Amino acid sequence: MARKHLMAAVAALALAAAAGGTASAAGKYIVGVSNTLIGNGWREEMICSIKAEAEASGLVSKVIVANRNGGPSEQIADIRNLISAGANAIIINPSDREALNPIIKQAADKGIVVVAVDQAVSAPEAYVLTNDQVDYAKLGAKWLFDKLGGKGEVVEMRGIDGVPADADRHQGFDEVLKNYPNIHVTSIFTGWALNKTAQATKDLLASGKQIDGVWTSGIDSTVVDAYQTAGKPFVPVVGADNNGFIGQLINLKDKGLTGAAVSNPPAVGGAGLGLALDVLQKKEHPHVVKITPTVWDNTSEAGMDELKKAYNQKLDPFYSVAINVPPYTHYTMEQILACKGP
């Protein structure tokens, strides 16, 4: 009988190795994470959500994070290292829609589950779980253009040139813009970086250029801060559901700030891991999952109610208030704030 159990255990280990590296002790999984933008609160929360979901699941023995500033070549090298480290699943925030496809295929051919979160890739082997970035831009742009009465000078604060989320958001922004011929746009790439955004806003305000509204790609509170520092009257600002910006929409309304926050949960990272764990356990999933964004403004009673309910003094100002993505995440507020995984 003992020999039969031993043979069964050996067979199980062989199967695990064939299905994506060797599963770790007690049948738990090794998870790799590849991120190529550091110093960004949204990305930090995304990684924390992956660690928190790994801890809450009880199915993960180790989370290996490859975290640095870089582009496709650096990310390809990081993914290759995660494959060599024995990852059973790799969660990536992709730096390019197409360039990672060959390394994703290499991982998938080894039985590794690859999930792209926040931004999409075109590799058919990958699972994709993102906020609907086109709709994200559409919701905020329409709110802003309507707020301006369909005319005026708008600054479009974009992210990183060439990355999928920025391209998708710009597409949504332009689709709405076509219906507003009297809205004129100045576009600026911020790199989703605080210092660069602050300096760009300062330069715009110092230039004397007319600005009637600002649409931001998740770099919102920095723009509001720059207006305050310069002592300039606020213009309507659209941003993401970042805790600091939501606090500004609540607390600075009486000082003339109007704006809207569009949801973009970094918890897609943890959700991507939840999906990957389901796939590793042979549960069926569609390869593409898009989360529908919502918009909350501080110009309506309903919007203000939502903003006040969402604001959380425990959260970092640059963290999104959306800490979960049901039904994929299962951790608590305490776990994501602790940012500790196996």
- For 126-183, write each residue's pLDDT tens digit: 999 999 999 999 999 999 999 999 999 999 999 999 999 999 999 999 999 999 999 9
Is 212 within a domain?
A: yes
- What digits encode the pLDDT tens for the residues 267-309? 999 999 999 999 999 999 899 999 999 999 999 999 999 999 9
Residues 159 and 125 in one domain: no
String of DSSP letters for 144-172: HHHHTTTEEEEEEEE-STTSHHHHHHHHH
Is 298 within a domain?
A: no
C-alpha 241/C-alpha 293 separation (Å) is: 10
C-alpha 291/C-alpha 34 separation (Å) is: 21
C-alpha 107/C-alpha 84 separation (Å) is: 10
pLDDT above 60: residue 18: no
Is 300 within a domain?
A: no
The pTM of this model reads: 0.88
pLDDT above 70: residue 327: yes
Q: Maximum distance among all alpha carbons in the chain?
A: 84
Average pLDDT, the chain: 92
Q: Provide the domain limits for residue 163.
A: 133-262
Bridge partner residues of 188 (DSSP): 157
Is 305 within a domain?
A: no
Q: Residue 59 in contact with residue 113, Cβ under 8 Å?
A: no
Residues 198 and 141 in one domain: yes
Is 74 within a domain?
A: yes
Average the pLDDT over 1-30 and give the result.
46
pLDDT at 329: 97
**Taking the CB of residue 279, how many other CB atoms lie within 10 A of it?**
17
Residues 61 and 172 in one domain: no
Angle at 324 between CA 318 and CA 329, to 5 degrees: 135
pLDDT at 114: 98
**Taking the CB of residue 44, how many other CB atoms lie within 10 A of it?**
19
Count of domains forming the chain: 2
pLDDT at 27: 73
C-alpha 279/C-alpha 89 separation (Å) is: 10
The percentage of the chain sitting over the pLDDT mark of 70, rounded to a whole number, equals 92
Residues 193 and 105 in one domain: no
pLDDT at 21: 45
pLDDT at 314: 81
pLDDT above 80: residue 5: no
Average the pLDDT over 102-131 and give the result.
97
- What digits encode the pLDDT tens for the residues 58-108? 999 999 999 999 999 999 999 999 999 999 999 999 999 999 999 999 999
pLDDT above 50: residue 122: yes
Residues 143 and 179 in one domain: yes
Residues 67 and 26 in one domain: yes
CATH number for the domain spanning 23: value is 3.40.50.2300
